[in-house]
Amino acid sequence: RPRSTMEEPSGTHTKRKVVAVVGGGLVGSLNACYFAQRGFNVEVFETREDIRQAKIVRGRSINLALSHRGRQALKHVGMEEKIVSQGIPMHARMIHSLSGKQSPIPYGKKGQYILSVDRANLNKELLTEAEKYPNAKLNFDHKLQDWSPETGLMTFARSDGSTEHIEADLIVGCDGAFSAIRKQFLRRSRFNYSQTYIPHGYMELTMPPIDGEFAMKPNYLHIWPRNTFMMIALPNLDKTFTCTLFMPFEEFEKITSGDEVMEFFQKYFPDTIPLIGPDALRRDYFRLPAQAMVSVKCSPYHIGDKCVLMGDAAHAVVPFYGQGMNAGFEDCIVFDEILNQFDEDLSECFHKRTKKTPRMSWRYESSIDADLGGSLQMRAHVNSKWFLFRKHVDNILHLLMPKTIIPLYTMVTFTRTRYHKAVERWHWQDKVKHKCFLSLSLSLSVLQIWTAQS
């Protein structure tokens, strides 16, 4: 028999709506808190076992950079302070040149920083918080097989071979870039969908502590830009750094032996060899193959008032701008704001949400400009003298005219400006600055000619 609601407390006469959150990852568990906080009956369904009890946490382990959008979403359910206390502030990028020279580039104004947070720990904390609500239930080992967009009836399979049928008033698909919920969307007309794999993959390596302390300065996001590829390192609370090597798959495939690993690192990242350790490099490089990175775009994000996609299921992005988790978390708070605005009338909320999606996802030109622009910025341009000069000019102009000139990174990372609006403003600012530079150059040329003639 389909389960349609959870047990109501004694004395309750009104049936509360049931919200089924499919996916118990970061966005799913945070969404559970949001809906439970509103008084909905919430059931979370996760394919995997409970990661809080698992000996080995499977899935992506790439470090996360928590910034303003994500923090605001956590604050709304009372989780910001706890998560911030478990993160490590990164006030600037630390650029490592081939010669070993280190140059910091601050992220924003004094006091602005992003946080290095552990994905698994954050997920565990959010699941535990969701479980505190008496009207929320977590269901693990539930793999979605099928669901009906007309009735909200879902069928789940369990590892023991049994199946379970659950009926919900609202289904929230938070099941990642390869969403099972989204498969129903693909069967419908006028649903736009695309996925793109970039030619780069990533591989994680660990830099252990030295004498019980961090091997490098901890309050930075360390970057080794090397034109067509790069490596980054984020600090962890256990004094390690998680190093992530981003490189075209064809380059990964060229390295087939331990000696070739050492030759590669000696050529491009020589300062990291003693920090990671030669033996660890030879071993860990072949521990797992390079992982792929995909971006996903789709619209609309909902089917009637019965189902809605959020997080990577709606808009997966590659990690170079550090906004995947933050954009997913912002989905939660924006939808919550819309629920307030329309007094929880779901049909009105979804109609409004479709118009607001650029705030929550990287769509149209915004995806190309900001997402890939971020990768190019860190890979190659970050070592360019012109890039550094422009960064200093941007910071100075922002200091002098804080409401007129705002760097793109600042808008994306330290404000809740809609993503597409941030990119539009960035283009406008660039045109203004270009005209100013041109006028200044012409003025200096005229002055030089006048001085020479005098």
- What's the average model confidence in pLDDT over 434-443? 75
Residue 165 has pLDDT above 80, yes or no: yes
Task: Using the structure block, give the residue that is written with the tokens 């100075």.
Answer: 396
- What pLDDT, on a 0 to 100 scale, did the predictor assign at position 356? 55
The residue ranges of every structural domain in the chain are: 18-91+110-195+294-361, 198-292, 368-453
Instruction: For residue 359, name the pLDDT band (cuts at 50, 70, 90).
Output: very low
Q: What is the pLDDT of residues 71-88, one digit of tens each?
A: 999 999 999 999 999 999
- What's the average model confidence in pLDDT over 365-391? 50
Question: What is the distance between the terminal CA atoms of the chain, rounded to a whole angstrom?
Answer: 96
- What pLDDT, on a 0 to 100 scale, did the predictor assign at position 201? 94
Side-by-side strand order, sheet with 18-22: 136-139, 41-45, 18-22, 170-173, 307-309, 302-303
Rounded-to-integer distance, Cα 25 and Cα 120, Å: 9
- What's the average model confidence in pLDDT over 321-349? 90
- What pLDDT, on a 0 to 100 scale, did the predictor assign at position 282? 95
Instruction: For residue 376, name the pLDDT band (cuts at 50, 70, 90).
Output: very low
- What pLDDT, on a 0 to 100 scale, did the predictor assign at position 45? 98
Contact call for residues 89 and 62 (beta carbons, < 8 A): no
Which of 17-31, 58-72, 398-412 tops mean pLDDT? 17-31
Instruction: For residue 431, name the pLDDT band (cuts at 50, 70, 90).
Output: confident
As a whole number, the mean pLDDT across the chain is: 86
Q: What is the pLDDT of residues 219-277, one digit of tens each?
A: 999 999 998 899 999 999 999 999 999 999 999 999 999 999 999 999 999 999 999 99
Domain 18-91+110-195+294-361 in CATH: superfamily? FAD/NAD(P)-binding domain (3.50.50.60)
Instruction: For residue 14, name the pLDDT band (cuts at 50, 70, 90).
Output: low
Residue 386 has pLDDT above 70, yes or no: no
Q: Classify strands 136-139 and 41-45 as parallel, antiparallel or unpaired.
A: parallel
- What pLDDT, on a 0 to 100 scale, did the predictor assign at position 368? 38
Task: Using the structure block, give the residue that is written with the tokens 């930075």.
Answer: 220
- What pLDDT, on a 0 to 100 scale, did the predictor assign at position 9? 46
Residue 428 has pLDDT above 80, yes or no: yes
Residue 286 sits at φ, ψ, to 5 deg, of -105, 5
Least confident of 29-33, 94-98, 362-366: 362-366
Percentage, residues of the chain above pLDDT 70: 84
Instruction: For residue 354, name the pLDDT band (cuts at 50, 70, 90).
Output: low
- What pLDDT, on a 0 to 100 scale, did the predictor assign at position 5? 46
- What's the average model confidence in pLDDT over 199-214? 95
Residue 50 has pLDDT above 80, yes or no: yes
- What's the average model confidence in pLDDT over 319-348? 90
